[in-house]
Structure 1
Amino acid sequence: MQNEEGDSDCVYSDDLKSLNSDCDSENEDCDFPKHNPKTDVLNPKLVLGMIFGNKKEFKEAVIANQATIGKSIEWIKDDREKARAKCRKPECKWKILGSLMQRDTLSFQIKMFESEHTCFGWNYNNESVNASWIARRYVDKIKSNKTWKVSEFRDTVSRELQLHVSMHQARRAKEKAIAMIDGHINDQFSILWDYCNEIVRSNPGTSVFMKLTPNETPNKPMRFQKIYVCFATCKFGFKAGCRKIIGVYGCWLKGTMYGAQLLSAVTLDGNNNIFPIAYAAVEKENKET
């Protein structure tokens, strides 16, 4: 019989469903089902012997599978080679064990699985479901609707998953999903010099100025403060056919993580239409900017 720590992976018993030693991960004749992380995200199925690309895929599939039936689990063994979980309710017999396949250094396989819960009730405060998990589950929906209000997003998640989701958790989940789509905002700042150089290269005569400030943390890269851009074509158009009157408009960039203000210098062309001259992203509108 399988011992309590789950160290004997290939023993079969009537009480605990485990892989039979005659049909284990080394047997080429065994046709084990394989988990598809692209198609089996929302409601993955778990069966004894199923193979996953790595341990992360295995754990995410287990959490998703249990969340869809309102169960909360805990990982009682989680190292490089094995991951073992059980239901959070002590009296419940549900448990699962996944471990590395012997002939593969990454692939994980379900070696032991007791799939039936002997506990009752739906867990609306599921500790297994965190912001990262919600972000991965809803990243496609957020990608098509980045302006989705956090309150509406929270209501949708709570209704579809039948879980209690706080505003803080929903906000973090949306931020993580957007970071998965666009890349983390800090990574975007790190390539600003490349952006400036590309503007000048592809638009000769363009003026680009960027100012940085020292980082408060020692030995860290300098921090972005402001940027000014005036395209060569806008310079030429202003000099050739616009009124020599310049107006400045500003708006707060409230949707950003760090906050800023976007300033734009405009004038009127010969048709009395607004003509953009330059723009700048600054920390705030003052005499210096």
Structure 2
Amino acid sequence: MRHDEYLSRSKTTFEGKLGGDEPFYDSDEPVSFEIETDDEADDEDVVEKPTKKSRRPKRIRNRFRKALTRYAVQEHVELNKYVNEPTRVRVKCTAGCPLLLFASFDSRTNDFVVKNYNPVHKCNGTTKNKLVNSLYISERYRDKIISEPGIRIFELQNLIRKELEVYIGRTVARKARSIVLQQIMGDNVEEFKRILDYRDELLRTNSGSTCVVRLSEETFEGGFKRFQSFYICFDAMKKAFKAGCRRAIRLDGCFLKGVSKGQMLVARWFVNILRHDLELGDGTGLTTLSDMQKGLDIANKDLLPNAEQRMCARHVIANFSKKWTGIAIRNCFWRCAKSTYEQEFQKNLDHMEKLGDGINGDLWYYNIDRWSKVYFKYLSCCDSVDNNMAESFNSWILGPRHKTIITMLEEIRVKIRRRVGQLREFSET
């Protein structure tokens, strides 16, 4: 029998047995050098459950491939990974470059062993790399995309170009972001299902605390109720407020930035629970400071009728500037807001009158005794005219606000606990 006839018979014998319906090719034949595309990389996650015998070689092979990808990105070279078998990996550089690497699974050591390696490079560095595909980007920049799910495609491209010095197309960047967001959305649904478990765990580990989860009265398909709101007040915070904190409470709301769309907003039910937790009674000796939310204003009047209610001067000037603009008007407004006695306030008000006809009439519309320091009560020992502390807190928790519901609540809890501990240590120094 001739040698070529023997090879053709061997090829027919092994066809359909080593790779499903794929024929078997000898490792030195050109048809065996098939480049792994971006679509094929995505298909690696969608595989059938391997048998116990083949699970370890495939897992080690994938780790080996990831190591090659990291090397290619770090050295700015474009490597071509030729797929032969689940137990073998061959890598070549671009045409004309002698770099070569061949590794295969060794059953004796249960590891991937490099059998042939030529590390010499004769090619120039490149800013394009096929190995930097959507799957690689989604794994490397997962935390970044989770913290900023609304990141623009060109911003992600610029970030990768700056850090990796590699150019990627818009389609690859968009696909990578979609992979991460789809994974987050799955976690988001599951976390909403566990919100009551999270409440129970908080109450178990923080005795004396108050945690309320508000659900819809309507029951939807599957017997589930829709999540509406969440309230938490830790026992340590209650005791600290009652023991020595100034009787001043700042109330504000903010929007959630991630997949958990909605608002962190103070509402009537929130104020009612807070009143019982902190034993505020009818609000005597208490000061509340918020922006110009009408619903919150009504809730405070009904639940805390004797509390001093202030409005944030920054929100007042923002609305006032829609009609009256200019630096002189703005500076005069802040002098009125920070006046500490009536003669000074009247002097600044007279100066304001000269800046426009009817300007003082529009200013009095905003109830001056709620945003000017001259009319503030002194029982709370707080002379703040703005709500910057609450606004700063909203910015401080900007990162967690992008996360899913339980992850967000837990990260905010940890940040606050650490901050309290740091301030306690600082006060003792």
TM-score, with length taken from structure 1 = 0.51
Q: Distance in 2 between matches of 1:115 and 1:5?
A: 21
What is the match of residue 68 of structure 1?
74
Contact 1:208 1:230 in 2 (8 A): yes
Alignment of 1:115-130 (within 5 A): 115-118=119-122, 120-130=123-133
AA of the residue aligned to 1:98 = A
Gaps of 5+ in 2: 1-24, 30-58, 242-248, 276-282, 291-299, 301-404, 406-429
> Which is richer in strand?
1
> How high is the sequence identity, in percent, across the aligned residues?
20
What is the match of residue 196 of structure 1?
199
Task: Give deviations 1:174-230, integer Å, cap 9, x for gaps.
Answer: 9959x89xx955564454232121133334573523548757xx9xx9696433325
State how many pairs are aligned. 211
Contact 1:72 1:126 in 2 (8 A): yes
Contact 1:63 1:128 in 2 (8 A): yes
Q: Distance in 2 between matches of 1:56 and 1:161?
A: 22
2:117 is equivalent to residue 95 of structure 1: no
What is the match of residue 27 of structure 2?
5
Which one has the largest radius of gyration?
A: 2
Task: Give deviations 1:46-65, integer Å, cap 9, x for gaps.
Answer: xxxxxxx9223311121121
User: Which of 75, 89, 92 is the equivalent residue of 1:86?
Assistant: 92
Alignment of 1:130-169 (within 5 A): 130-134=133-137, 154-165=157-168, 169=173
Q: Distance in 1 between matches of 2:134 and 2:225?
A: 28
Q: Distance in 2 between matches of 1:94 and 1:4?
A: 21
Alignment of 1:110-259 (within 5 A): 110-118=114-122, 120-134=123-137, 154-165=157-168, 169=173, 172=176, 185=188, 188-189=191-192, 191-201=194-204, 202-203=206-207, 206-211=210-215, 225-229=227-231, 231=233, 249-254=252-257, 256-259=258-261
What is the match of residue 63 of structure 2?
57
- Residues 1:269 and 1:231: Cα distance change in structure 2 (over 3 Å): farther
AA of the residue aligned to 1:58 = F
User: Which of 78, 83, 93 is the equivalent residue of 1:77?
Assistant: 83
AA of the residue aligned to 1:272 = T
- Residues 1:65 and 1:262: Cα distance change in structure 2 (over 3 Å): same
Contact 1:200 1:208 in 2 (8 A): no
- For the residue of structure 2 that corresponds to 1:68, the secondary structure is helix
TM-score, with length taken from structure 2 = 0.37
AA of the residue aligned to 1:250 = G
Q: Distance in 1 between matches of 2:142 and 2:232?
A: 36
